[in-house]
Amino acid sequence: MEQVWFVGFTHASAAWYHRFLKRGYRHCFAFTCLGIDRWLVIDALWNGMRVDEVPGKTIDAIAAECTSVLAVKVKPRPVRFRLLATCVTLCAHLTGDRSRAVTPWQLYRSLRANGAERVFYRSR
């Protein structure tokens, strides 16, 4: 059974290291549909992990803040262990990405190369 995870990329600028990352691809998070008007959002933040169930209106507002959103069809399979818990490793693990992506931009490119479909894009 395939599941679809959406990965949102944003232009975060809160942490000191964001200035070294590609503009518009400084943070990423994942969300998936749980049912009618119910979405699960998982976001690895500097100070912890956010896991929320939100309604459709809220997910629309969250996605509108993104510079890009990818839809990734995921088949359940084992994924290698990831040492660090960052936004990139979290999204890579949830989507089954096997690359060694370290930055959100590298993850974006890896997911696109492996068939992820771009469902939203905003140039800044």
CA-to-CA distance for 74 and 23, rounded, in angstroms?
27
As a 3-state breakdown, the chain gives helix, strand, coil percent values, each rounded to 5, of 25, 35, 40
3-state DSSP call for residue 75?
coil
Q: Could you tell me if 90 and 25 are in contact, meaning their C-beta atoms sit under 8 angstroms apart? A: no
- Nearest 5°: the CA angle 105, 111, 112 is 90
- pTM of the model as a whole: 0.89
Express each pLDDT in 30-40 by its tens digit: 999 998 899 99
Here the tokens at position 103 are 């930055």
Find residue 106's DSSP bridge partners: none
Closest CA to 89 of 57, 32, 43: 43
Express each pLDDT in 43-84 by its tens digit: 988 788 899 999 989 999 998 999 999 999 997 766 666 677
At 124 the pLDDT is 54
